[in-house]
Amino acid sequence: MSINSAKKEFIYWAHLLWERGLVTGRSGNMSQKTGQGILLTVTNCYLGLLKSSQIALVDGQGKLRQKEKVNLTSEKDLHLGIYRKFPKINAVIHAHSIHTVGFFNYYSKLDILGFEARIHLDKLPVVPQFTPTVTKIEPVLAALEKNNIVVLKNHGVVAMGENFRLAFALIEMLEEQAKVNLLLRGRR
């Protein structure tokens, strides 16, 4: 797949995250492994209006592989760490889905209420976060050994997959379960 084709797919999933309310404002970031390197969002981009120029091409160490100079997302080390630890992973999405963030602000354990969700969200890891950027990636990487999605308490979620569709599906499913749990527990 060419870089231009990969960027078009990247933009499709970024816009879908926004349309589904899984990111707002300038929150969230994404990356995708390609044959030419890793595509990674720049800092302060708005995923709902993401443009091709806001997706940088980097190598496995995060060095730019393009002429244009940009500031990469502050979560660059997390994305690159995931690709190093899980070589079969090709896509990473970090979202700030509001119901999931809200749920884990009040509660520590999510009741999984659907058959498909039980398959994919069983043993859902929750990693405490104390800063706006994931500065200690090791606990997140360890949690991703148990599941392809991890809750970053007070921050958001990180999902990984062989492609954006699989990572996106995990975030969407988790958000649905958080919403249902909040409704059943009387919080909106």
Catalytic site positions: 75
SS3 128: strand
Q: Please give the backbone phi and psi of residue 71, each rounded to the nearest 5 degrees, phi first.
A: -100, 120
Dihedral angle at the C-alpha atoms of 4, 40, 12, 158, nearest 10 degrees? 150
Residue pair 101/171 in contact by the 8 Å Cβ criterion:
no
Tell me the C-alpha distance between 188 and 173, whole Å: 18
């970090």: which residue's tokens? 94
Residue pair 134/141 in contact by the 8 Å Cβ criterion:
no
Tell me the C-alpha distance between 51 and 66, whole Å: 16
Give the H or E element holding residue 77.
Answer: helix 76-85
